[in-house]
Every structure is written in structure tokens, then in C-alpha cells.
Structure 1
Amino acid sequence: MQGVIGLRAARLWLAALLALAVVGCASVEPPEFKRLPERVELNGVPFFRGNANQGAPQTLAGMLGEQRIRITPGLLVKPLKLPGAEASLQSNIEQLAAGYGLMVYPLDSSLSALLTQVAAGYPVMLRFSDGTLWSEPRYAMLVGYNRAKGTVLLRAGMERRRLMDFNKFESAWKDAGGWAVLILSPTQLPANVDNTRWLKIANELSRSGQEQAAATAIKTLQAHH
């Protein structure tokens, strides 16, 4: 009898140890996360509800609205060459934003890179695999996160506040190619700006006919140093 009780106690003890190990692993954060604020939500970022055209016009309208450009998704459909140019949406989005004299700054393919920009006050435009009703990638804005809960907050489709856990979001984002950009005024700088990347974008902006915006972007970077 004592042997049976001892065996049960050992099993319970082992189960408790395993449970603690799982909790411990789940609570471990990458070091770069620990430098970020616990929770951020960019409440003022504009939101245009809709699922048409992979959500690209709606998301881009929100990003442009954040830069005080008065626009609606309907006015972006034709410039984005929709419907019909879905395969070229990424480059068309970048070209269209540059046409407004804005800097389209690509981000590294890591969750910490995205959260760092959100913590700095910048919404991130990205593409992710929805995994529900839509087979093609969707466009969305990352506007917040909660480190304690391990969630990100998106403006996506019909949802102003779509929550996804870190792992699910990162997988869905990378499944769609890991594309994520900031759309900034030339007077703004990303957090931890990559000088070479910024100057390359400024050069491309100048060649597209936006010489004044490009010059402003270079001056902004110079003033930062």
C-alpha cells in the first residue's frame, strides 16, 4: 500500500515539475522585448473597414490618413490597378505612397523590429495570411501589442481591434512573405533608423520626381546625428 501511495506521490510531483517548466518556458521573453514598454496601443490611427481587394486600399488609406492625407479607399482602387494587379500590390503600394512624397521604409523580418516601431508611435503596414475565409494574403496595420498577454493588435478587414497572439501572428506574417513597412513623412525617422536604408529610399524618391521630399529626408537624418 505504501508503495502505491509513494508511486502516486512521485507521479504528482513529476506532473507539478512539468507544469512549472511549461509555465517557465512560456514566460521567457526575447531580450529585445524587455526593452519595450509593456503595452502600447495607437488609438488615433485611422481605420477603414472592408475586405475588398485583400484589404489593401483600406489599409493604405489608413496609413496615408495617419500622415494627414485626406483619402478614402475608393480613391485608391484605380491607382493600385485593382482589380487585376493583385500580384503587384506590394510594389504598387510603395510607388503610390512615394507619389505623395512619403518614405516607404521596409522593416526587418522579426517581430521585435515591428514592435519597436509601434512603441515609437508608428503604425506598421504589413501583409499576413488570414487563414480563415480568405485564401490570399491580407493587408493590415499593426497598431499595438501587449507583452504580458503576448498579443498584437491589428486594424484588419472588418475589425478595428483584431487581437492575435505573438506566435500565431508571426507565423501568419512570415507565411505571407514577411513584408512590413513604415510610411513616413520625410521629417520623421524610424526608431533605430538604418542610415543606408534611409538614404537609399531618399535617393529613389528623388529619382521618382520628389526631389524636395528627398532633400528633406536627408536633412532630417543629418539633424539626427
Structure 2
Amino acid sequence: MPATSALRRARRFALAAAVFLLAGCSTLIPQTVALRTGWPAGVPLQLELAQVPFFPQGDYQCGPAALAMAMQFAGAPVRPELLVGEVWLPARRGSLQVEMLAAPRRHGLVGYRLEARYADLLRELAADHPVVVLQDVGLLLPEWHYAVVNGFDYASGTMLLRSGLQSRQEMPFSYFERTWRAGGYWAMVVTQPEDIPATATEARWLEALLGLARAGPNEAAVRGYRAALARWPDSLPAAVGLANQLHAGGALDEAAGVLRGALRRFPHSVVLINNLAQTLSDQGRNAEALALIDQAQDPQSPFAGEVRSTRRLIEERLR
């Protein structure tokens, strides 16, 4: 075979190999590649939340350290030592994501899990929310690690993290995605109840608030539901949640007002009719409550049992 022909074939092989490697690389970092042409709207090209505190992690305790950084930035005076008993599992020598999301509720904060999107992480940073991420930083075997992303620089393609013993770790976009992708792009932010994350959806935020309502102080849940109803005025679950929290706190007049406002939007809602009737009865307005509960007599409703129970209560009080 002539040398020139062999050289051409070698060049073609080298080109094909390069294309294959590039294609393989893009499958490893698909979201980094997408950022080149799809930088999220409204996100600056450079940002660093320098006010995020830094706590160097103890042995196997990156979870408490990362969570303490995010929670303290959100306004809770906590340190990693306080959180060890809440999120660290000695048998696993680490922290599970469910504990990481639950711990902020005990301190009147909301832990919100982000969608598995690079763009959402960047948008939260632009909204002044440092992001806790789960990474696999092992070289040969998996080594799971929590860190806090607190900035980025598009020009140099660099993510900024508070990680391990480093208060300012610089990591290329592509390498960060490789470590982050291994954990399913798991990420969370910690906020005050009235500070709804920039990327939150109605359903996911209300799910997070439900956890706060069950575990946290009533006042914090009220603030969260007020904020939810302000962002999503037509949200029936937000109105019901706010009214329930107000009722539980003894603010019956305000709870009734929220329910009446929601009924103007959803005049046939059995849940709203039932809850308003219950609230009116608790205020001693049983005749008015009985007239209202009669509007909810729908045997096919999944809440028919609750309606019957409320009606019996009203009738007993009238007697």
C-alpha cells in the first residue's frame, strides 16, 4: 500500500476516533454542552455569594457541614455540631438525602429539592440561594460527598464551591457535572418559608410546605402558605393549607376570610365548603354553618365522609 494512502487512512481513523471521543464526552456532560448555546435567561455570566459561611467538615460529616452553611446563610444560627444528630447516620458514615431535606424544617426553614437541571442550579444561585449538591468525588470507587455551590464564572467555565476543607474550590463546569451526574443531579436549597425558590413549582413547593407544617412551628408554615398564595393566587391547596394553619393557631376570623376568598374562585369545592362550615361552627355560628354544609351534600365526593362528620358536629352543637 502506498505511504500516502496509508497516511490518509491513518488520518481518517484518527479523525473518527476524535469524533467518537468527543461524542462520548458530550454524553457524559450533556448539560454542560447545552449551556454553551442555552445559557439561562436572566442569569449573569459571573456570580459569587461570598457571604456564604464556611465550615470545614469533620470525618465523614460533609452533610452536616454543607447543610449548616446553607441554613446559616438562610438565617438559622446553626453549626455542624448541632446537625450531626439530625442528619448523620453512623452506620452509613454519611447522611441520606431525606434527612438533609427534613432537618431544616425543625428550625423553621424549608428544604427544597431542585429539578435535575444545571440551569435550575444557576438560576437559584442568581436568586441568592446557595445550592447543596451531592457528588461522587471518588477516583476508582464511589465516594459520596456533599458540597455547597456558591458561584460560577462563565468566561473561565468554573464553578465555585465550599467543599471539604476548601473554602473556595474551583471546579470546571464539565468535571463538576461528571461528579454531580453520578448522584442523579441531586441538589437542594434552604430558604425562609416566605422566600420561594426561583425554580419552584406550585406542586413541589406545597409538598415541601406540607413537611414544614407537620414538623415545624405553626408561624413558619403560615408564612410559607401566605407566600405560596401570593405567587399562585388561584391555588386551591395553598388556600386550604393557609386556612388550616390559621385555624390551628386560633385565628378563626382570618381562616374564614381565606376560605371565603377561595370559595369565590372555586364555588363548588366540597373541601372549601366543609372547612368553612367547620370554622363557622367553631366560632359559634352553627346555624350559618349548617346552611353552608348542606351545599356540600355530594355522596360521590371523596370527602363525603368528612362532610357527614362536620354536619353531625354542627347538629350536636345546635342541640
TM-score above 0.5, yes or no? yes
In the alignment, which residue of structure 2 is the partner of 1:102? 109
Which amino acid letter does the alignment assign opposite residue 137 of structure 1?
Answer: W
What is the CA distance between 1:169 and its match in structure 2? Answer: 0.7
Q: Give the whole-Å Cα distance in 2 for the aligned partners of 1:34 and 1:188.
A: 21
Q: Which has the higher helix share?
A: 2
The question of whether the paired residues in 2 share the 8 Å contact of 1:53 and 1:82 is answered with: no
CA distance in 2, matches of 1:127, 1:91: 12
User: What is the distance in 2 between the residues matched to 1:34 and 1:149?
Assistant: 19
Rounded to whole Å, the distance in 2 between the matches of 1:93 and 1:86 is 14
2:162 to 152, 155, 164: 155
Q: Which residue of 2 is the match for residue 124 of structure 1?
A: 131
1:45 correspondence with 2:52: yes
Most deviating of 191-200 and 126-135? 126-135
- 2:222 aligned with 1:211: no
Question: Residue 77 in 1 paired to residue 84 in 2?
Answer: yes
Residue aligning to 2:177: 170
Partner amino acid, structure 2, of 1:127:
L
In the alignment, is the contact (CA less than 8 A) between 1:38 and 1:147 conserved in 2?
Answer: yes
Q: Distance in 2 between matches of 1:177 and 1:51?
A: 25
Return the letter of the residue paired with 1:70.
Answer: P
Is the alpha carbon distance of 1:51 and 1:135 closer, same or farther for their aligned partners in structure 2, counting shifts above 3 Å?
A: farther
Please say if residues 54 and 136 of structure 1, whose CA atoms lie closer than 8 Å, have aligned partners that are also in contact. Answer: no
User: What residue in structure 2 maps to residue 57 of structure 1?
Assistant: 64
Question: Post-superposition shift, 1:212?
Answer: 2.5
Distance between the aligned counterparts of 2:176 and 2:88, measured in 1? 28
Q: 2:145 aligns with which of 135, 138, 150?
A: 138
Local SS of the residue matching 1:84 = coil
The partner residue of 1:113 within 112, 120, 130 is 120
Unaligned runs of 5+ in 1: 1-10
Identity %: 32
Which structure has more relative contact order (CA 8 Å, sep 6+)? It is 1
Corresponding letter in the other structure for 2:75: R
Q: Cα 1:209–1:184, aligned 2, differ >3 Å: closer, same or farther?
A: closer
Quote how far apart the aligned CAs of 1:167 are: 1.4
For the 8 Å contact 1:125–1:139, the answer to whether it is kept is yes
- 1:189-208 matches, cutoff 5 A: 189-208=196-215
Q: Relative to structure 1, is the Cα distance of residues 171 and 203 closer, same or farther in structure 2, using a 3 angstrom cutoff? A: same
Structure 2: gaps of 5 or more residues = 1-10, 27-32, 233-319
Normalising by structure 1, we get a TM-score of: 0.81
Contact 1:116 / 1:191 at 8 angstroms: preserved in 2? yes
Q: For the residues of structure 2 that align with 1:90 and 1:186, how far apart are their CA atoms?
A: 20
Matches of 1:209 and 1:45, distance apart in 2: 24
Shift of 1:47: 0.5
- How many Å apart are 1:88 and its aligned residue? 5.3
Checking the alignment, whether the CA contact within 8 Å between 1:202 and 1:215 is kept in structure 2 is no
Query: Counterpart of 2:260?
Result: none
Instruction: Give deviations 1:44-96, integer Å, cap 9, x for gaps.
Output: 00100125224111111111211222222122212224422446521112221
Amino acid at match of 1:102: L
Q: 1:208 to 1:36 in 2, by over 3 A?
A: same
RMSD: 2.9
SS at the partner of 2:67? helix
Q: Secondary structure at the match of 1:56?
A: helix
Alignment coverage as a number of residue pairs: 208
